[in-house]
Amino acid sequence: MKIESNPFGSSHQRNQIFLKFVAFFLLIGLTYRFLITESTVSPIPALQTSPVDPSVAQAPFSVLVSTKCDIFTGNWIPDASGPVYTNVTCRHIQDHQNCLKNGRPDVNYLLWKWKPRDCDLPRFNPEQFLDKMRNKWLAFIGDSISRNHVQSLICILSQVEEVEEIYHDKEYRSKIWRFPLHNFTLSVIWSPFLLKAETFENVEGVSYSDIQLHLDKLDDKWTDQYINFDYVVISGGKWFLKTSIFHENNTVSGCHYCQGKNNLTELGYGYSYRKALRLVLDFVADPKRKAQVLFRTTTPDHFENGEWNTGGYCNRTMPFKESEGEISSEDETMRDIELDEFRKTQEGSNANITLLDTTSMSLLRPDGHPGPYRYPNPFAGLKNKDQSKIQVQNDCLHWCLPGPIDSWNDLMVEVMLNRELYR
Ligand SMILES: *[C@@H]1O[C@H](CO)[C@@H](O)[C@H](O)[C@H]1NC(C)=O
Ligand SMILES: *[C@@H]1O[C@H](CO)[C@@H](O)[C@H](O)[C@H]1NC(C)=O
Ligand SMILES: *[C@@H]1O[C@H](CO)[C@@H](O)[C@H](O)[C@H]1NC(C)=O
Ligand SMILES: *[C@@H]1O[C@H](CO)[C@@H](O)[C@H](O)[C@H]1NC(C)=O
Ligand SMILES: *[C@@H]1O[C@H](CO)[C@@H](O)[C@H](O)[C@H]1NC(C)=O
Ligand SMILES: *[C@@H]1O[C@H](CO)[C@@H](O)[C@H](O)[C@H]1NC(C)=O
């Protein structure tokens, strides 16, 4: 992976970006309630979907790659079969990631599959997966990317069994679902820092005070429920780039992006991210805990020629080749810390934890983001307006559903069910 200069620009710009992200994600929570009900309107006619072949369901569980292979390194190759669901056949897609419904005109981004360099990865089989998950509980813990991932999984699984939502929090950020026929429970837990954190946001989701981050305390929102889980997919992420004041041993130890405030020591996000992951990994790797853990690496964004709020966009319609992806310095720093801390956990331990390294495969998909298609027809009515006043905001961080994030599940199931090969 090549390294390029910081795609977010200065720290100040970056902070602006994240303020807007936060506002945006809160709105997502609200719009999520008004999900569209069933419709018989067909999506783009040219796009064929590939419904699950019922004959496969009888076969023994065949998802596994039988030899050791680095499934995380490879290329995207053309695949005419198309996604297993669309905006019509899955009603669990959040509006802001519903690129088909929002009128994204190109569909080629749906016609690729992940090909590991040294082996073939079988396509996710929802029937078999549900059988394996009978009477089990799988939890996703993290930020809005974890939500993006869980929605992808639900869309795939709901093609064979419809899911019941049994819980959501006030903001619709944490949820629990059940697949009744399989007694399979699925959770997503909103904990963007994984640590105890006080955040201060008004109803629009704009921060009015700095985040207080406790680098020596985990967020009990997930640790309190942890005993229930059989499988856990956990990840950190971009929230660590926001301005935050660090607390350790009940005193303020420093901050990230503190702009000279209160004479605090600037320790940087690398410091807080490393401390957070260490604490998280020590907790989940504790031998007295039963859950099998998949530790997912950072998800790269693809803003080009600007930032979130300064006209940055991601209008590519093709994946990169293996040699083309350029990782941002933030993403690279985060990933290095992730790999580092994960290795420390693995050394001399038989902890039930594996890496879910989705970074490389995701880096190669600049074409997989909603871009302007977070809203229906973002360019409608713009032609007659003053072009200089128009600013269509782009989301080049989250992933379209359906989209490349669906392939995260192919890796996930492989790693979950073939653990010994991926330690
Ligand atoms: C699905 O997307 C298509 C456009 O691709 C649109 O015409 C249709 O109304 C959408 N249906 C639903 C249920 O979102
Ligand atoms: C459903 O699964 C849970 C574990 O997730 C288990 O405790 C419970 O007994 C199961 N219920 C039935 C009816 O098998
Ligand atoms: C917090 O306390 C522990 C144990 O007393 C000590 O090892 C550590 O250095 C302290 N950390 C900070 C940032 O003061
Ligand atoms: C910051 O440090 C300077 C020099 O040490 C001192 O003069 C000033 O009062 C301090 N400001 C605060 C808010 O503590
Ligand atoms: C890891 O966890 C899974 C799911 O709970 C379990 O089936 C498996 O036996 C565990 N493996 C080891 C080596 O503990
Ligand atoms: C992306 O947008 C830029 C700026 O508007 C334009 O120059 C470029 O041709 C576009 N690329 C594609 C693939 O549409």
**Domain chopping of the chain, boundaries:** 19-40+83-380+387-421
- From the alpha carbon of 230, which atom of ligand 2 is closest? 5
pLDDT bucket at 25, cuts 50 / 70 / 90: very low
The total of other beta-carbon atoms located within 10 Å of residue 75's CB is 17
Q: For residues 48 and 204, what is the distance between their CA atoms, to the nearest angstrom?
A: 39
What is residue 409's predicted lDDT score, i.e. its pLDDT?
97
- DSSP code, position 66: -
- Helical spans, DSSP H, in 347-405: 359-363
Q: For residues 382 and 392, what is the distance between their CA atoms, to the nearest angstrom?
A: 10
Q: Tokens 């379209």: give the residue.
A: 400
Note whether 328 and 304 are within 8 A (CB): no
| 49 has a pLDDT exceeding 50 | yes
Asked whether the bond before 378 is cis by omega within 30 degrees of 0, the reply is no
Paired residues of 362 in beta bridges: none
Q: For residues 206 and 182, what is the distance between their CA atoms, to the nearest angstrom?
A: 41
- Helical spans, DSSP H, in 219-355: 220-223, 269-284, 329-346
Mean pLDDT of 208-216: 93
Encoded amino acid at 40, one letter = T
What is residue 313's predicted lDDT score, i.e. its pLDDT?
94
| 387 has a pLDDT exceeding 80 | no
The whole-model pTM stands at: 0.85
What is residue 322's predicted lDDT score, i.e. its pLDDT?
84
Spatial CA neighbour of 215 closest among 232, 193, 234: 193
Q: Which ligand is nearest to the CA of 184?
A: 2
Can you point out the beta strands (E) in 310-400?
Answer: 326-327, 353-356
pLDDT, one tens digit per residue, over 261-272 is 778 999 999 999
Q: Which residues of 346-365 are buried (b: 16+ CB within 10 A; e: fewer)?
A: beeeebbbbbbbbbbbbbbb
Q: For residues 239 and 187, what is the distance between their CA atoms, to the nearest angstrom?
A: 21
Q: Tokens 């000279």: give the residue.
A: 260
The Cα-based distances of 72 to 83, 297, 355 in angstroms read 20, 11, 10
Helix (H) or strand (E) holding 185: strand 184-190
Instruction: Give nearest CA residue, ligand 2 atom 2.
Output: 135
Note whether 120 and 170 are within 8 A (CB): no
Q: Distance, CA 183 to ligand 2 centroid (Å)?
A: 6
**Selecting from 3.40.50.1110, 3.20.20.10, 3.40.50.1370, 1.10.1740.10, what CATH number does the domain 19-40+83-380+387-421 have?**
3.40.50.1110
Instruction: Give nearest CA residue, ligand 6 atom 9.
Output: 315
What is residue 66's predicted lDDT score, i.e. its pLDDT?
54
What is residue 391's predicted lDDT score, i.e. its pLDDT?
65
Tokens of 371: 């871009």
Tokens of 258: 């503190």
| 406 has a pLDDT exceeding 70 | yes
CB-ligand 6 contact for 316 (6 Å cutoff):
yes
pLDDT bucket at 206, cuts 50 / 70 / 90: confident
Q: Distance, CA 102 to ligand 1 centroid (Å)?
A: 8
**Dihedrals φ, ψ of 421, to 5°?**
-75, -15
CB-ligand 3 contact for 216 (6 Å cutoff):
no
